[in-house]
Amino acid sequence: MATPEKRAAQLREQIRYHNFRYYVLDDPQIPDAEYDRLMQELQALETEHPELVSPDSPTQRVGAEPLKVFGEVRHEVPMLSLDNAFSDEELASFDRRVRERLEVDSVEYTAEPKLDGLAVSLLYEDGQLVRAATRGDGATGENVTQNVRTIQSIPLRLLGNDHPHRLEVRGEVFISRDGFRRLNERALQQGQKIFANPRNAAAGSLRQLDPAVTAQRPLEIYCYGTGLVEGGELPGRHSEILQQLRDWGLRVYPGIERVMGLEGCVKYYRQLEKQRDQLAFDIDGVVFKVDRLDQRQQLGFVARAPRWAVARKFAAQEELTRVIDIDVQVGRTGAITPVARLEPVFVGGVTVTNATLHNEDEVRRKDVRVGDTVVVRRAGDVIPEIVSVVKERRSETCRSFVMPTQCPVCGSDIEKIEGEAVARCTGGLYCAAQRREAIKHFASRRAMDIEGLGDKLVDQLVDLKLVEDVADLYSLRPEILAGMERMGDKSAHKLIAALECSKETTLERFLYALGIREVGEATARTLAQEFGDLEVLMQASEADLEAIHDIGPVVARHIVNFFQQAHNREVIDKLLTAGVHWQAVTVSRHRPLEGHTYVITGTLSSMTRDQAKQGLQALGAKVSGSLSKKTSALVAGDNPGSKLDKAEKLQVPVLSEQDMIELLQQ
């Protein structure tokens, strides 16, 4: 064991290095959670051994030296940091400390998201933006005025005329998830370095030497407070100040609330934690601030943070772990996906042991090797992925991944077509892995919707050769099913009933369920609407198919190929004989919304977003996930988020739910 003195020195050196990567290079090497742990360990050591605290310890200040290339700005009111609470208990002790110091029973807090971007300070003189600075080390920041002036949501001039003579507004500059995705897509196309996450993208964009580059980046701001106030007064509560900032035309997050006591804080926290994945931007926790400024005054500050605020952090979505092995998985269409097997790690609220590596190019690009220490990310329901490799921790024994030339499941050749990212097993339905996946797809909710036919059961049925193709499902007997692992009489009969029930379907579901390559739900719907009849579709030529709007040569080729295979025709026959049927489709030529594109956002009250989408599509419209100038209209439900702002900016018409219903009924 190192002595406390040695350990503190080690920690300081590591933290300094990581500060440099994070604040100066905008290229952190380790996840925030890991950084927090180093900092906490150092803080604990210093608390236990106060003689070890040195004035240059990273615990004694925030962030890192500003870059000299930008001019320096000395913050007249320092830009502080926030103390963290990683559990409800830590939050409760924060609230207790506040109450004890104020000698009150309950405190009013404002609750706001902790945005994951970078802090800036905007100086307004007589309502004009005269200077903008980054936080830097808290005392001195970088002058980024020219860059900040390119951010559309930052007013160059405040509304109204009752502003203090000098007013510093503080907020977080960030990039939305959508903006981040677009930015990285562009970077990939242009062969540039991609950003690890939206926060680095925001930091890297704001600290560009050329403002013209910053202007190209989708930076946004939410303001969350003030610094210097001279020649004028602000209201006596934080919540009122935020309202005042809004009135002056500054962008403040609309979901900020005033809450009562610890209970109110916990409730807000739980709510936001649930909504986290639906937000348009990354947040890493909730900030609680004492609302009354006189109470804040009474509480004051400790070294680098105020006593009147705390950041309750969410469970980390990024963690470090080690790659034990890299092997491959075979998908429904034979796609071979490299998968990293990981040392179990708790991230994003679950224990993760695998992470997809998408394809061979991705493995090369990220240069992931067996034995590497990697940053794993799991956000919401998204499958875990490897963000980056900590190259500094690579040992010489790390082994590179080699794409197999034979399918590990069926032994068929693996082929990789020039220009395609994906390698495929050529075994088709001979390959048990592809069969398995085809059956799971067939049974899935949006296909034939066979309830109770889970993945594990399909695996058993295929392994025991009880089901060789999807049609075999309909000849399963209850007594056979009852003998499977984790099945009993009751669940077997339930499954038989679900199978019976699934026989009544629609042509579009059926086509989707067949799992023809490149035929997703939208294409299946188009095919059903255009052909109306399975037999006619099966006879269609590539030219017939290509004549349809939305169907290109590749999809046409796959469809014709599929129906030419004798095996597929047999399976279809078997399915129809087993009693799978649907109502005849009347070929719809009524497509009044042909050529129009809609985007749906927020929560609808009378239907799900999916139902709305299907309704619009049935009338010929396209429904897209992202807004552009070409969007015909935005349908906005409750809590519409940033899309609404964007629509207004792009002058895209906005429809309410009721407007859309009327449109559908026309």
Footprint on this chain of ligand IVH (rule: CB under 6 A): 80-82, 112, 114-115, 119, 135, 172, 224-225, 287, 306, 309, 311
Q: Which of 353, 350, 351 is nearest to 339 (CA)?
A: 353
Nearer to ligand IVH, 199 or 525 (CB): 199
Quick one: residue 387, left, alpha or beta (phi over 0 = left, psi -120 to 50 = alpha)? alpha
CB of 306 to ligand IVH, least distance (A): 5
Contact (CB, 8 A) for 206 and 147: yes
Beta strands 108-115 and 257-260, pairing class: antiparallel
CB of 28 to ligand IVH, least distance (A): 15
Nearer to ligand IVH, 119 or 453 (CB): 119
Contact (CB, 8 A) for 632 and 653: yes
Which of these is catalytic: 6, 68, 114, 503?
114
Q: How far apart are CA 509 and CA 154, in angstroms?
A: 48
CB of 239 to ligand IVH, least distance (A): 13
Distances (CA, A) of 455 to 23, 369, 471: 45, 30, 17
Q: How far apart are CA 578 and CA 510, in angstroms?
A: 14
Distances (CA, A) of 664 to 27, 135, 630: 49, 51, 21
Nearer to ligand IVH, 225 or 640 (CB): 225
| Encoded tokens for 383 | 């499958």
Quick one: residue 315, left, alpha or beta (phi over 0 = left, psi -120 to 50 = alpha)? beta
DSSP states along 138-195: SSEEEB-HHHHTT-TTS-SB-SSS---SEEEEEEEEEE-HHHHHHHHHHHHHTTPPPP
Among positive and negative, which fits the CA dihedral 71, 72, 77, 78? positive
Q: Which of 219, 240, 232, 221 is nearest to 127 (CA)?
A: 232
Maximal CA-CA distance, the chain: 85
Nearer to ligand IVH, 84 or 359 (CB): 84
Nearer to ligand IVH, 141 or 637 (CB): 141
Nearer to ligand IVH, 135 or 436 (CB): 135
| Residue 304: Cβ within 10 Å count | 17
SS (H, E, C) 47-65: HHCHHHCCCCCHHHCCCCC
267 noted as active-site residue? no
Nearer to ligand IVH, 82 or 425 (CB): 82
CB of 182 to ligand IVH, least distance (A): 23
CB of 114 to ligand IVH, least distance (A): 4
CB of 93 to ligand IVH, least distance (A): 18
Nearer to ligand IVH, 110 or 529 (CB): 110
Q: How far apart are CA 484 and CA 220, in angstroms?
A: 55
Give kind and range of the element (H or E) at residue 11. Answer: helix 4-19
Q: How far apart are CA 368 and CA 390, in angstroms?
A: 10
230: which strand partners? 166
Give kind and range of the element (H or E) at residue 38. Answer: helix 32-48
CB of 273 to ligand IVH, least distance (A): 15
Nearer to ligand IVH, 38 or 578 (CB): 38
Nearer to ligand IVH, 115 or 514 (CB): 115
The residue sitting closest to ligand IVH, measured at its beta carbon, is 119
CB of 194 to ligand IVH, least distance (A): 23
Residue 489 CB burial class (10 angstroms; 0-12, 13-18, ≥19): exposed
Beta strands 581-582 and 504-505, pairing class: parallel
CB of 316 to ligand IVH, least distance (A): 15
DSSP annotation of 237 reads B
286: which strand partners? 113, 312
CB of 524 to ligand IVH, least distance (A): 44
Q: How far apart are CA 214 and CA 142, in angstroms?
A: 15
Q: How far apart are CA 646 and CA 626, in angstroms?
A: 10
> Residue type at 286?
V
CB of 119 to ligand IVH, least distance (A): 3
Contact (CB, 8 A) for 168 and 122: yes
Q: How far apart are CA 142 and CA 158, in angstroms?
A: 23
Contact (CB, 8 A) for 113 and 255: yes
Beta strands 622-624 and 597-601, pairing class: parallel
Nearer to ligand IVH, 40 or 506 (CB): 40
CB of 58 to ligand IVH, least distance (A): 14
Q: How far apart are CA 166 and CA 124, in angstroms?
A: 6
> Residue type at 272?
L
Nearer to ligand IVH, 114 or 622 (CB): 114
| Encoded tokens for 341 | 């097997």
> Residue type at 457?
L
* Residues labelled catalytic: 114
